[in-house]
Structure 1
Amino acid sequence: MQENSSNRVSKVAFAFIMSLVFMLLFLSSTFFLTSKRNIPNTEKYQYDTALRGNIITKDNFTVASSKELYRAEIDLRSIDNGKLDLFLKLFQIYSGLDDVQMQEIKKRLNNASKGKNYNFILSQDINSKSASHLRELARKLYVQGFFKAFSNDSNRVETRGLSIIEHKEDRVYMAKDSLTPAIGYTRVVLDEESKIFKNIGVKGLEKFYDDCLMDTQNEKVQGLKDISGNIILNLNSVQKRKINGCNLYINIHLKLQKSIEKMISTQNEDLNATEIVAAVMESSTGKILSLASTRRYDPSNRGKDLSVLNTSAIEYGYEPGSVIKPFIFVTALRLGKLKLGEEINTNDGYYKLGRFTIQDSHKAKKMSSEEVLMYSSNIGMIQIARRLSNFEIISGLKIFHFADKSGIDLPYEQKGELPNSQRLRDIEKSVLSYGYGLKTTFIQLLAGYNVFNNGGVYISPNLAEKFYQNGKIKELKENIIEEKILSSEASKQMQNILIATVEKGTSKKAKTQGIIVGGKTGTARIAEKQGYNSGRYNASFFGFANDTHSKFTIGVLVRNPKKEYSYYSAQSALPVFKGVIDILIDEGFLIPNKM
């Protein structure tokens, strides 16, 4: 009995001692695991890149967008040479790379194996879909023990698998060279926080709306790593939410834009000009429906000719020639220095101006004031300009925002130049009346002519309509200039004269059955350092085309056409203008009135 009692005590004592030992082991292991030790950090930061916003046309085509690009890299010490071929085959299947790309990787691998840099980049142009597949491959290979352990530079044993790292935001232009140069382009810069290359605007709409298009905040994720090196997600993992750039909606119709681009490129095969610029603006709103140039480029693959990257419509200043005449004409009309229907002495088409003789192509002893514009008489315009003081003629041009920015939403717009009214000599005022001695831009002239088709109201041309961000749409109206600068009566009188110029005068080639068309030609020599070269001209045509419901202001500039006799606006700019009208009819923007 005493022996049994002693055995029970011994058993209890043994159980107590063993419990105490297990308790001490548990406490010591807990202290060891939770104490600060010199072990690899189990926490990881990861960024999900916020993207630059899209640019979307009026007919809902996305013409610029961004996507993530990833790179795949591996530590060469992690792969057994006997398994290298298998690894590369699996990598090709999961990445979708072709045989040529894989041959290039193998060639680089051979060279890398001879060096001491173990970190090898397999590819750095991997899209998000392939990146997802490769991450799944990396996880499977890691779990199956495919990658071998090695001693790192600190003599610690570690295993590194295949790493898929986001490293670049790629800007994609789906319309290729269409909409250029107005759409502009971007360049990449390194984001210091995420170490990812981002895009910033350099030219065109990309530059002007850069603050809006630029992403605001990357998503930052923090947490413990699993055995594959991926973050274990929980409620506290996301530190910052991703905020993408805005989606910018523009007034340009891509289908119309492409049709006009194709037409002017075809025309230029014959004209052989330095450039043809054409634009269509909705007269009542200033919305640019098309801004086309023959000097286009692929924003993703720009060439060496940097001048092509400039938007000539706003950056190229030139002497406009006869397209300036309506603005001086209406200034005299507005100030009571000229009356409609009165006779102007045009001196049989010849006039001595200093040491030069001015000749009109349409020669007459006298013309009515309207005919001076209809037949583009330089001599008649000289007579009209002489009725105005220097201050009146320069102020009259400034009212139409010449020598000022038009207000269009593009960067680097030039103001042009007007002479100083206090230093303007009589001969300079005379040549000013038919478009020499000043500099304008294409967009200034387009906005100026729009006044005649918009009831005397100046409205700044605008390319972008609205933007969408964070679930909200914002209309872009606050920066649009809208100003009544001409009486409705005066604008109607000028509109009628420009219509008569097409119906009876120098611009008959623009006539279109069932459409109200008005406009004015302009031809001017190009000034160079040594003076005017007789072989270099700019040809212009600005005007409008209206139907019962719609009104459009249209401009065309043909820079230095080299085809014989094509420097005359009637032989170059005018046919292009007519081509634009025909396209507007074909695309349903204009509906001819059936007589």
Structure 2
Amino acid sequence: MQENNKNRKTKVAFAFCMASFFMLLFLSSAFFLTSKRHIPNTEKDQYTTALRGNIITKDNFTISTSRQVYRAEIDLRSMNPEKFELFLKLFEIYSGADKAQMQDIKKRLKSKKKNYNFILIQNLDSKHASYLKELSKKLYVQGFFKAFTNSNGKVETRGLNVVEHKEDRIYMSLDSLTPTIGYTRVVLDEQNNILKNIGVKGLEKYYDECLMPLQDEKIQGLKDIGGNIILNLDSVEKKRIDGCDLYINISLKLQKTIEKLIDRRNLDLKANEIVVGVMESKSGKILALASTRRYNPANRGEDLSVLNASAIEYSYEAGSVIKPFIFTTALRLDKLKPDEIINTHGGKYKLGRYTITDTHKSDKMSIEEVITYSSNIGMIEIAKRLSNLEIISGLKIFRFGEKSGIDLPYEQKGELPNPNRLREIEKAVLSYGYGLKTTFIQLLAAYNVFNNNGYYTPPRIGDKIYQNGRFIMLNEENAKQERILSASGAKKMQEILIAVIEKGTGKKVLTQGLTIGGKTGTARIAERQGYTSNRYNASFFGFANDKNNAYTIGVLVRNPTKPYSYYAAQSALPIFKDVVDILLSQDLLKLDINATVQ
């Protein structure tokens, strides 16, 4: 009995000791788990910055795009000294670094001024960046990196880190489509410490808000032994949303062909600049907008003036290409009769102290012949019938003195004289294109009215944008056609401009099987001291149509210096003909075989 009691006490004592031991073990474990410990951080953030959108041509060439540029860095406190030489050899292989770059790395490592966060190499492309990321994971597992205590008292292992350094904007077509496409400049995104691009000129500026990236990708969560983030319900994930892709109406094939044409022509003309625009008459779509003053957006050089788009930023006195609009105003206000004959004074007319002389001298002309033979004297007689307010209001109807609505920044409005201060001599010279300033794109859009049944259509370069998995058509939202001339008025002016080609100053453009019309213009360039005697702008604006297609085409030759090339018939007109031939060669126009046979 006594022996049994002793055994029972022994068992109870043993059970008590074991319970006390496990309780002590539990409390120690709880204290250890809840106390501040020096263990490596198990959380990780991973960011991928969104990119600026692409600009894509009508024929699906990406002419402007962005890429991520990376840098590789390492916290030297994490580096295992015994494996450092091997690390450098592996880094050289995976990064694609050349000998000079590796020598620079070793030289900087020996410097006493180096920081713990040591930049190994910058300007890595995405391919070599991905190679180094894979290398980092392998080296992490193999124990190349050691843990250290940071300034916050936490233990961490950083190792080799590959981070995005900047966004690089690339222009694959080099100088083609400039200055229309524009360019960007680099700014620091302070939130992510990354160099990003913002639009400064051209399409890059006008569509900057759309092209800008919307949201960076972010993944946050616990990491596994290989340093990879474990995706679970507790991890945080944000989707990357790049900027929109901008699709434009311009075909790169057509654009480059016209650029080569005007470059070749300018070897002979030696002009300051040649500008050519091709517009689809019904829709207002700009199919080409070319200039001989081009630049590489990635290497712009020192000539800042070449960065400006002359088609919209250069305003000038246009000369005789203004005549159709004064003429149309007189017709619209019934100041001209269809069968009327205009006194042209034998081709000479005294205007103040100047004598105006017509190239095609005649005592009298029909109203159509005044335009066909570009009679300055005939236009002066027509302008006399209009009041100052009527003549200026007539020009405003065609949007002179205001922006055309093209989707490019910094468009100039041009200048119209104040009708209350317009003297008779000023009204006279206004009738043949002096005393007002306009831009190339204003004239192109205004001439388009004659080839679009009397409707004014704002010219458009952008066609559509692609974002969030869908296309948005820009022309449907922005191109608002407005009738500014009756259909009969547009038809009448179209017939007169066709007569210019068939009988008058534009005969060189005649192409059997197409309907072609237009008007030449030659104007002295005004400077502070007055009009120059040897500097001119020559231009031709008109249209070329077949049975199914209609295009409005403009050519401006700024200050051609070849002898006698300042006449539009010798400079702008042949280029217009070349552009029509290009449209035929690229099947944008087709000859009417029946018309050719006649």
Partner of 1:557: 556
Give the direction of change, closer, same or farther, for the CA distance of 1:153–1:217 in structure 2 (3 Å limit).
Answer: closer
Alpha-carbon distance, 1:87 to partner: 3.1
Distance 1:525 1:7 in 2: 127
Distance 1:180 1:356 in 2: 42
Say which is worse superposed, 129-138 or 166-175, in terms of deviation: 166-175
1:550·1:590 contact (CA, 8 Å) conserved in 2? yes
Partner of 2:483: 484
Partner of 1:270: 268
Say which is worse superposed, 2-11 or 13-22, in terms of deviation: 2-11
Distance 1:255 1:23 in 2: 83
Say which is worse superposed, 471-480 or 5-14, in terms of deviation: 5-14
Partner of 1:544: 543
2:277·2:288 contact (CA, 8 Å) conserved in 1? yes
Distance 2:149 2:235 in 1: 31
Does structure 1 residue 130 correspond to structure 2 residue 128?
yes
Alpha-carbon distance, 1:234 to partner: 2.5
Alpha-carbon distance, 1:549 to partner: 0.5
Partner of 1:444: 442
Partner of 1:507: 506
Q: What is the one-letter code of the residue matched to 2:311?
A: A
2:255·2:290 contact (CA, 8 Å) conserved in 1? yes
Say which is worse superposed, 467-476 or 222-231, in terms of deviation: 222-231
Partner of 1:33: 33
Q: Deviations over 1:347-391 (max 9, x none)?
A: 222222112221112222222211111111111111111111101
Matches within 5 A, 1:389-468: 389-468=387-466
Partner of 1:329: 327
Alpha-carbon distance, 1:567 to partner: 1.2
Q: What is the one-letter code of the residue matched to 2:289?
A: L
Q: Deviations over 1:188-209 (max 9, x none)?
A: 2222332222222111111111
Aligned length: 592
1:341·1:370 contact (CA, 8 Å) conserved in 2? no
Distance 1:592 1:334 in 2: 34
Q: Deviations over 1:107-148 (max 9, x none)?
A: 253145222423322222222222111111111122222345
Matches within 5 A, 1:351-390: 351-390=349-388
2:40·2:147 contact (CA, 8 Å) conserved in 1? no
Give the direction of change, closer, same or farther, for the CA distance of 1:576–1:8 in structure 2 (3 Å limit).
Answer: farther
Structure 1 unaligned regions, length at least 5: none
Say which is worse superposed, 582-591 or 358-367, in terms of deviation: 358-367
SS of equivalent to 1:443: helix
Q: What is the one-letter code of the residue matched to 1:367?
A: M
SS of equivalent to 2:24: helix
Q: Deviations over 1:422-466 (max 9, x none)?
A: 100001001111111100010000000000001111111011122
Partner of 1:177: 175
Alpha-carbon distance, 1:162 to partner: 1.2
**How high is the TM-score relative to the length of structure 2?**
0.93
Alpha-carbon distance, 1:302 to partner: 1.8
Q: What is the one-letter code of the residue matched to 1:215?
A: P
Q: What is the one-letter code of the residue matched to 1:553?
A: T
Give the direction of change, closer, same or farther, for the CA distance of 1:491–1:344 in structure 2 (3 Å limit).
Answer: same
1:407·1:481 contact (CA, 8 Å) conserved in 2? no
Distance 2:79 2:39 in 1: 24
2:322·2:431 contact (CA, 8 Å) conserved in 1? yes
SS of equivalent to 2:198: strand
Give the direction of change, closer, same or farther, for the CA distance of 1:25–1:81 in structure 2 (3 Å limit).
Answer: closer
Partner of 1:110: 107
Distance 2:103 2:299 in 1: 27
Alpha-carbon distance, 1:573 to partner: 0.9
Q: What is the one-letter code of the residue matched to 2:563?
A: E
Across the aligned residues of Structure 1 and Structure 2, the Cα RMSD in angstroms comes to 2.4
Distance 2:469 2:3 in 1: 85
Distance 2:12 2:565 in 1: 116
Give the direction of change, closer, same or farther, for the CA distance of 1:154–1:243 in structure 2 (3 Å limit).
Answer: closer
Q: Deviations over 1:73-102 (max 9, x none)?
A: 1234555677555433322322234x3xx4
Alpha-carbon distance, 1:282 to partner: 0.5
2:167·2:197 contact (CA, 8 Å) conserved in 1? yes
Distance 2:76 2:423 in 1: 80
Distance 2:337 2:377 in 1: 17
Partner of 2:254: 256
Q: Deviations over 1:36-86 (max 9, x none)?
A: 567765433332212222212111222222222211112345556775554
Distance 2:3 2:249 in 1: 103
Alpha-carbon distance, 1:170 to partner: 1.9
Give the direction of change, closer, same or farther, for the CA distance of 1:10–1:297 in structure 2 (3 Å limit).
Answer: farther
Distance 1:236 1:154 in 2: 25
2:347·2:360 contact (CA, 8 Å) conserved in 1? yes
Does structure 1 residue 589 correspond to structure 2 residue 553?
no
Alpha-carbon distance, 1:13 to partner: 5.2
Give the direction of change, closer, same or farther, for the CA distance of 1:82–1:329 in structure 2 (3 Å limit).
Answer: same
Give the direction of change, closer, same or farther, for the CA distance of 1:523–1:236 in structure 2 (3 Å limit).
Answer: farther
Does structure 1 residue 50 correspond to structure 2 residue 50?
yes
